[in-house]
Amino acid sequence: MKLILAVIQDKDSNRLLQALVENNFRATKLSSTGGFLKSGNTTFMIGTEEIRVERALQIIKENCKHRDQLVAPISPMGGNADSYVPYPVEVEVGGATVFVLPVEQFHQF
């Protein structure tokens, strides 16, 4: 048994949870803030047999990995037109910091 702690961005949270459940992993979400990633993050706690650790890591990577996203420009409604950027902007989203911890005992009561 291993315990996987994954700190991910909030916006990837629902997608990751769904992918984990579809693959028969069970996860608990802990409220967390800042630090490893920019603010607005969630810590997943996933308990799994050692043989399935690689699969869990693969799912986390697929659903949370760092990528650059183009964001369409927003019209300066009543804002300062000087700061208006008339072309798409690249924004970094996603990312996951993951720890796999050894477990000495596992129980379900």
Q: Contact residues for Ni ion (CB under 5 A)?
A: 68, 92
Over the window 18 to 47, marking each residue x when it contacts a second copy by CB under 8 A and - when it does not, the resulting string is: --------xxxxxxxxxxx----x-x-x-x
Contact (Cβ atoms closer than 8 angstroms) between residue 95 and residue 13: no
Smallest gap from Cβ 66 to Ni ion, in A, equals 6
Smallest gap from Cβ 82 to Ni ion, in A, equals 27
Phi, psi of 72 (to 5 degrees): -65, 145
Smallest gap from Cβ 75 to a second copy, in A, equals 34
Over the window 47 to 86, marking each residue x when it contacts a second copy by CB under 8 A and - when it does not, the resulting string is: x-----x---x--xx--xxx--------------------
Residue 97's Cβ-side half-sphere holds a number of Cα atoms within 13 Å equal to: 11
Judged by DSSP in three states, 99 sits in strand
Amino acid at 37: L
Handedness of CA 32, 27, 106, 101 (dihedral sign): negative
Q: CA 90 to CA 50: how far, in whole Å?
A: 38
Query: What are the residues binding a second copy (CB under 8 A)?
Result: 1-3, 5, 7, 17, 26-36, 41, 43, 45, 47, 53, 57, 60-61, 64-66, 94-109
